[in-house]
Amino acid sequence: MPSMLDAVVVGAGPNGLTAAVELARRGFSVALFEAKGTVGGGARTEELTLPGFRHDPCSAAHPLAVSSPAFRGLPLERHGLQWLHPELPMAHPFPDGTAAVLSRSVGETAASFGPRDAGAYRRLVTPFLHRWDTLVRDFMSLPLTALPRDPVTLARFGLVGLPPSTWLARRFRDERARTLFAGLVAHVMAPLNGFATSAIGLVFALAAHTRGWPVARGGSQAISDALAAHLRELGGTVHTDYEVKRLDDLPPARAYVFDTSPTALARIAGFGDHYARYRYGPGVFKIDYALDGPVPWTAPEARRAGTVQIGADSAEIGAALRAASRENRAPDAPFLITVQPSVVDPTRAPDGKHVFWVYGHVPHGWNGDLTDAIERQLERFAPGFRDRVLARATAGPPELAARNANYIGGDIATGAVSGLQTLLRPKLSLFPYTTPHPAVFICSQATPPGPGVHGMPGHNAAKAVWRRLRQT
């Protein structure tokens, strides 16, 4: 290691890895320090249950990663990343045995909403479909890290996306489309009537039609391993099992970039109450299953989908979100996001067997057991599910927080996605990646454009860092 590095990155989640790669590819010397024994943070894969069953304890479905301008600019395929696309990106089954779907085809999706809403859906998505790559770059680069390439489409997207998703739902006359959209918003644990929640639903829908909702072959660890391999190829170094508690724990560098929570950064760098107003959101309860066969969904569409949302209607989904985020209690009928990677990736489980991934929302810091409520929900849409279970690994907020210090109280978004904090995080600032110390930066999902495996906070933060490095 040189006596003075250009940049030190703390935390090897998707954003820390991306920030490190972006700096290394611009010729800066970079070292990365990670608290855990392997890189990956929220994008990793482990044999959590039985030998031969490879589970993703955190992210599994990757609509944002495959669309990400940061990842698309990197040679991740050369380092082993392979996206596998299920026949349907997503299905949302209903209690009557039918399902609405997000298909690669707009026509199939619209038809699944029923004749009264098919036209409204086409009118909603069509203006953005052919501009997706530019649009995604524009809104994921905000604020102020790049001028929009297509300001007109971005403004139009803002008009549709900034209002609450409950407004978007009014475009639809029937419950099928409303329910599917409510479920999409719930992916980031946002309240359905929250600011900019229409944009969340719309982004997931557009991603399905344009670049899909794939899983990574072999598991999400492949994303992190590809980023780390590229970093090493560029001369960067990676140090695992190294928890940073104080700035003095780190080697001398011209810049320090933190893929941590704002709270941890304030503690490590001595920023006092600089981020005291930053709020954390509800937690999740996660179960990874080893199954004896595929999930016995009643709706045939759900058997073909990579991701399956579970919530009988938009009211049930709204009630589940309210219980976890406002009423401080576990929902009776939790809204579930489930992913079944082995419908498309045979490397994840022994022949004929499957891995199955599911989580529901619970209050911040909740330490109960949601297993029974989750399995009761699954049995409504897949009778006989319990008979297929060979083994399960559960993790509530305390276990998630122990696994990754960024998941404070089990909040997998490292900060509530509500109010202005949806877009302006971790502070109301035009320069969210900078901190009170001119050499210290933050790049985690607590910065724009927020949660998900896409590396854009890391990419944007790296720009702020290299601008500073070139000035000094």
Ligand X SMILES: Cc1cc2nc3c(=O)[nH]c(=O)nc-3n(C[C@H](O)[C@H](O)[C@H](O)COP(=O)(O)OP(=O)(O)OC[C@H]3O[C@@H](n4cnc5c(N)ncnc54)[C@H](O)[C@@H]3O)c2cc1C
Residue nearest to ligand X (CB): 13
Residue from 161, 201, 282, 451 touching ligand X (CB under 6 A): that is 451
AA identity, residue 463: K
Based on the shown chain and the rule CB under 6 A, indicate whether residue 445 belongs to the binding site for ligand X: yes
- Judged by CB under 6 A, the stretch of 28-36, 110-118, 152-160, 343-351 that binds ligand X is 28-36
Based on the shown chain and the rule CB under 6 A, indicate whether residue 15 belongs to the binding site for ligand X: yes
Residue from 9, 14, 141, 338 touching ligand X (CB under 6 A): that is 14
Name the strand (E) or helix (H) holding 203. Answer: helix 197-210
Based on the shown chain and the rule CB under 6 A, indicate whether residue 10 belongs to the binding site for ligand X: yes
CB of 39 to ligand X, least distance (A): 7
Residue from 24, 25, 31, 33 touching ligand X (CB under 6 A): that is 33
Question: Residue 103: how many CB atoms within 10 A of its CB?
Answer: 22
> Which residues in the 128-147 window bind ligand X by CB under 6 A?
none
Query: What SS3 state is found at 360?
Result: strand
Contacts of 179 (CB under 8 A, 6+ apart): 92, 94, 100, 311, 312, 313, 314, 317
- By the 8 A CB rule, do 125 and 137 touch? no
Residue 193 in tokens? 């009537």
Residue from 20, 23, 30, 35 touching ligand X (CB under 6 A): that is 35
Contacts of 295 (CB under 8 A, 6+ apart): 302, 303, 308, 338, 340, 354, 356, 378, 382, 385, 388
> Which residues in the 50-79 window bind ligand X by CB under 6 A?
58-62, 64
Based on the shown chain and the rule CB under 6 A, indicate whether residue 263 belongs to the binding site for ligand X: no
Across 375-417, the runs of DSSP E, i.e. the strands, are 389-395
CA distance 216 to 223: 7
Comparison of 35 and 423: residue with beta carbon closer to ligand X: 35
CB of 143 to ligand X, least distance (A): 18
Question: Residue 291: how many CB atoms within 10 A of its CB?
Answer: 24
Based on the shown chain and the rule CB under 6 A, indicate whether residue 41 belongs to the binding site for ligand X: yes
Based on the shown chain and the rule CB under 6 A, indicate whether residue 334 belongs to the binding site for ligand X: no
CB of 204 to ligand X, least distance (A): 10
Q: Summarize as ranges the residues that interact with ligand X (CB under 6 A).
A: 10-16, 33-36, 41-43, 58-62, 64, 243-244, 259-260, 264, 284, 286, 359, 400, 404-407, 412, 444-445, 451-453
